[in-house]
């Protein structure tokens, strides 16, 4: 039995990564571990590691050349610009232009009141249990049906469609408090749909920063789905719908909703370390920690934490982060930062997912623009059949 178990160091050597990265895989639910006899280390079943290695070698896509986003040496860059710097100096509108056109220019998102009324009408009958992202999906489908020119994939048309679609996605969400006649940005409009807490300049700035930091992340699962849709020459609305479908998984865009209750419990009195202990004991990965692309720590989370005002949420998040970093060597990721942002400002648990969805719409359409300019229908992998042979 012992021969079939590997230590953390052995797994790290097999995968060609640092031990901290192995723990990150565990925290993300990608690898399962067991405590050794003295309770001070982790052991891994060789079969689980073999399956993980085989899964990493699997590929279903051609070599995708992209000039949009680079993740390198622990940094995130949009068309050669540091995304963490942009989060503190630019606006989501400008970063969207950068992703779509290469020009960092603030261009507002026009509100089409006819489309807004349509989207509001079709989402109003949804039950109260509907999540914000459920409403976004219905909105995208309704707006697509109302656009007779939706199959125009010329760059200028896609950019115009994207700006109008983003405005409608946000404005069609039900407000939680009175909305002023004039708002200065998409982030401010979004604020009134996420919380009844009055906005401050710094609070709206933090939401704008979150939108910027989540605007794209190379070929994440939802982005690959969006590119596949664009490769078939699906219209921009269908591209966004494909991205929203993949984003819905708990291991992708919905991950912040898993971190939210853990953080809320800790803020409301439960010892943060005890909360982590309960999850580890039950075999549930601790949400909001570790990222395979950032073994040294997610820079997006660092920026959002710095923008969070002092208070119980910030203090609790720091305690959680210190505990996980000390024992497991993993740092917080963007999911924990989104959960902290939402909880601090009185937003619901699914707010982080909605922020993720709206933000990433910019990235999906940027990748669609690249795909529209490439050879169509180039995604056609072949399955390795492992079923019953023909009679």
Q: How many residues does the chain have?
A: 391
48 is catalytic: no
DSSP 3-state of 252: coil
Cβ proximity of 11 and 50 under 8 Å: no
How do the residues of the chain divide into helix, strand and coil, expressed in percent and rounded to 5? Answer: 55, 5, 40
Cβ proximity of 356 and 247 under 8 Å: yes
Cβ proximity of 146 and 364 under 8 Å: no
Rounded CA separation 290/123 (Å) = 36
34 is catalytic: no
DSSP 3-state of 108: coil
Q: How many CB atoms lie within 10 A of CB 231?
A: 21
**Which residues are CB-contacts of 305 (< 8 A; sequence separation ≥ 6)?**
314, 317, 332, 337, 340
**Could you please report the per-residue DSSP string of 113-158?**
HHHHHHHHHHHTTS-TT--HHHHHHHHHHHHHHT-TTTT--SHHHH
Q: How many CB atoms lie within 10 A of CB 351?
A: 26
Which candidate, 288, 276, 374, places its Cα nearest to that of 332?
Answer: 288
> Quick one: how far is CA 383 from the chain centroid?
28
Q: How many CB atoms lie within 10 A of CB 233?
A: 13
DSSP 3-state of 355: helix
Cβ proximity of 316 and 272 under 8 Å: yes
Which candidate, 170, 172, 192, places its Cα nearest to that of 181?
Answer: 192
Q: What are phi and psi of 23, to 5 degrees?
A: -65, -30
Q: How far is CA 138 from CA 208, 240, 241, 347, in A?
A: 24, 12, 9, 21
Catalytic residue among 335, 344, 350, 367: 335
Catalytic residue among 171, 217, 291, 344: 291
Which residues participate in catalysis according to the annotation? 291, 335
């Amino acid at each position: 039995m012992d021969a079939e178990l590997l230590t953390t160091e052995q797994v790290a050597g097999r995968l060609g990564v640092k031990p901290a990265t192995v723990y990150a895989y565990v925290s993300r639910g990608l690898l399962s571990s067991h405590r050794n006899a003295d309770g001070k280390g982790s052991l891994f079943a060789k079969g689980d590691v073999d399956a993980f290695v085989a899964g990493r070698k699997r590929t279903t896509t051609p070599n995708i050349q992209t000039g949009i986003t680079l993740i390198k040496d622990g940094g995130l860059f949009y068309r050669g610009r540091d995304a963490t710097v942009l989060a503190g100096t630019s606006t989501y509108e400008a970063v969207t232009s950068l992703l779509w056109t290469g020009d960092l220019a603030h261009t507002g998102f026009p509100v089409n009141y006819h489309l807004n009324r349509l989207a509001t009408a079709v989402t109003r009958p949804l039950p109260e249990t509907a999540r914000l992202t459920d409403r976004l999906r219905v909105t995208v489908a309704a707006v697509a049906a109302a656009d007779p020119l939706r199959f125009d994939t010329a760059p200028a048309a896609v950019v115009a469609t994207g700006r109008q679609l983003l405005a409608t996605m946000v404005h069609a969400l039900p407000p939680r408090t009175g909305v002023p006649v004039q708002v200065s940005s998409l982030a401010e409009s979004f604020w009134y749909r996420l919380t009844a807490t009055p906005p401050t300049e710094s609070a709206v700035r933090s939401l704008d920063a979150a939108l910027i930091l989540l605007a794209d992340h190379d070929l994440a699962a939802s982005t690959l789905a969006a590119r596949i849709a664009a490769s078939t020459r699906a219209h921009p609305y269908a591209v966004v719908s494909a991205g929203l479908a993949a984003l819905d998984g708990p291991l992708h865009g919905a991950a912040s909703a898993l971190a939210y209750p853990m953080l809320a419990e800790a803020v409301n009195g439960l010892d943060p370390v005890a909360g982590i202990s309960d999850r580890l004991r039950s075999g549930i990965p601790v949400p909001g920690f570790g990222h395979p692309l950032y073994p040294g720590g997610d820079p997006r989370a660092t920026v959002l934490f710095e923008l969070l005002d002092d208070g119980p949420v910030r203090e609790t998040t720091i305690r959680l982060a210190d505990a996980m970093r000390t024992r497991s060597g993993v740092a917080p990721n963007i999911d924990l930062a989104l959960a902290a942002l939402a909880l601090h400002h009185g937003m619901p648990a699914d707010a982080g997912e909605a922020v993720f969805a709206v933000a990433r719409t910019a990235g999906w359409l940027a990748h669609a623009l690249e795909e529209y300019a490439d050879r169509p229908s180039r995604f056609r992998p072949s399955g390795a059949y492992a079923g019953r042979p023909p009679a």
